[in-house]
Amino acid sequence: MSEGALSSTGVYPTTTVGVTSVSSTTRQHRADRSLRCITVEPMAHARTHRLLQASLVIFAIGLVAIVALFVTPLIFDGSTAPTAVYVATTAAPVGFVLALIATILTGRKP
């Protein structure tokens, strides 16, 4: 097929070193189609996005508390960490579970 000839799909292919790629018109059409798919449920996406961000912050707080739990005896000559640090360590599994829930909620339906 010569360059510039119309193919069976109705797209003018451009040839570069034996590789055929789709024209920019087809790419733009695909981009427009994908943008329409993204904007179908903006509220549900925003809600789960915020839930995922919040769960990651909670998980990070829990990880910092776990590190503080082990570092406190090293810094303060063997004394134990305050009770608040022990309570804050529970944020790690809570954040993890919330992140799992947020991920499941963002799943696409077939």
Clarify whether residues 74 and 56 are in a common domain.
yes
Clarify whether residues 35 and 57 are in a common domain.
no
Contact in structure between 47 and 35 (CB atoms under 8 Å): no
Task: Quote the pLDDT of residue 40.
Answer: 47
Clarify whether residues 31 and 48 are in a common domain.
no
Contact in structure between 20 and 13 (CB atoms under 8 Å): yes
Task: Quote the pLDDT of residue 39.
Answer: 46
Q: Which residue from 95, 110, 88, 107 is spatially nearest to 45, judged by alpha carbons?
A: 107
110 lies in some domain? no
**CA atoms of 5 and 101, how far apart (whole Å):** 52
Angle between helices 91-105 and 42-75 (to 10 degrees): 160
Clarify whether residues 60 and 91 are in a common domain.
yes
Clarify whether residues 12 and 61 are in a common domain.
no
Clarify whether residues 11 and 35 are in a common domain.
yes
The number of folded domains in the chain is 2
Token pair for residue 18?
């034996």
Per-residue pLDDT of the chain (110 residues; tens, 9 = 90+): 555 555 555 555 554 554 445 555 666 656 555 555 544 455 556 677 899 999 999 999 999 999 999 998 888 888 888 889 999 999 999 999 999 999 888 886 65
Domain around 14:
1-40
62 lies in some domain? yes
Contact in structure between 103 and 74 (CB atoms under 8 Å): no
Contact in structure between 97 and 52 (CB atoms under 8 Å): no
Contact in structure between 85 and 69 (CB atoms under 8 Å): yes
Clarify whether residues 12 and 32 are in a common domain.
yes
